[in-house]
Amino acid sequence: MAKAFIKGVTDVKRQPGFGLIAGVCIAVLYLPLMIIAVYSFNAASNIGASWNGFTVDWYASALQNREFYDSAILSIGLAFAAMVISTTLATAAALGTTRGRPWRGQTATFVAITTPLVVPEIVTGISLLAFFAAIAALVDINLGLGKLLITHVTFCIPFAYLPIKARLEGMDDTLDSAAADLYATRWQTFRYVTLPLLVPGISSGAALAFIVSFDDFTITQLIAGPGETTLPLYIYTRIRRALTPEINAMCTLLLLISFIFIILSFGISKRRSQ
């Protein structure tokens, strides 16, 4: 009985008012998104007009917009490249900080990898902007789109690193020892034992890295140069010029892609924990 009482006291869900507070938080977070999605089907020509009927014409208009299409292709290509590179580096970092004997500086390395998660994006963006400006001044090299790729890889690494590290920490170390007893080399152990078991963590981290890169606005706005307009930047420029229901359709498509990858990452992590 005492354990049940303690559990009831420590369980946040059982606290008075939890349901109300949770409902308010969910409404504040998701109600504006739902309004955007609903009004993307509004036949009215004004973004703030009353409901004038159902239509999908704004989606057709958005998909036929060449600028929207080009920025979407750039965002997807950039996010895919950043996902591949950051996930590869995050996997190596997770193996180095999780497997083997503890080494001096391991904790400091973990802090350095995860620091971008807690540093404000504006600070990260300004520091990267200063870094690229210093490179351009010293060696007179314009990296072009490479600046965006390096930037996205930098802040995507910790998002890919944490799920992979968590997966490694949940794996049985004796499997590596068993492979060594069967005369497997380190590469064979990694390829045939560690990597197959690590795939769910890598997949979850890759999905997070992709959507973080795809959705980023603050840092990208500071680093992007002429002709490097990603989808969030394009939607922002459209809002500054004119407000049309087509923007609602664009935002809804962006939200749909984000939710797909978030659900994918969550589903992979849930399957991994079972």
- Give the tens place of pLDDT for each residue, 75-91: 999 999 999 999 999 99
Percent of the chain as helix, strand, coil, to the nearest 5: 80, 0, 20
pLDDT interval class at 1 (50, 70, 90): very low
Which fold does the domain 61-273 belong to in CATH? MetI-like fold (1.10.3720)
Percent of the chain past pLDDT 90, that is, above it, reads 13
pLDDT at residue 60, as a whole number: 86
pLDDT interval class at 152 (50, 70, 90): very high
* CA–CA distance, 67 with 46 (Å, rounded to integer): 21
pLDDT interval class at 2 (50, 70, 90): very low
- Give the tens place of pLDDT for each residue, 119-144: 888 898 899 888 888 888 888 777 77
Q: Is 219 exposed, middle or buried (0-12, 13-18, 19+ CB in 10 A)?
A: buried
**Helices (H), strands (E): how many in the chain?**
13, 0
Domain ranges of the chain: 61-273
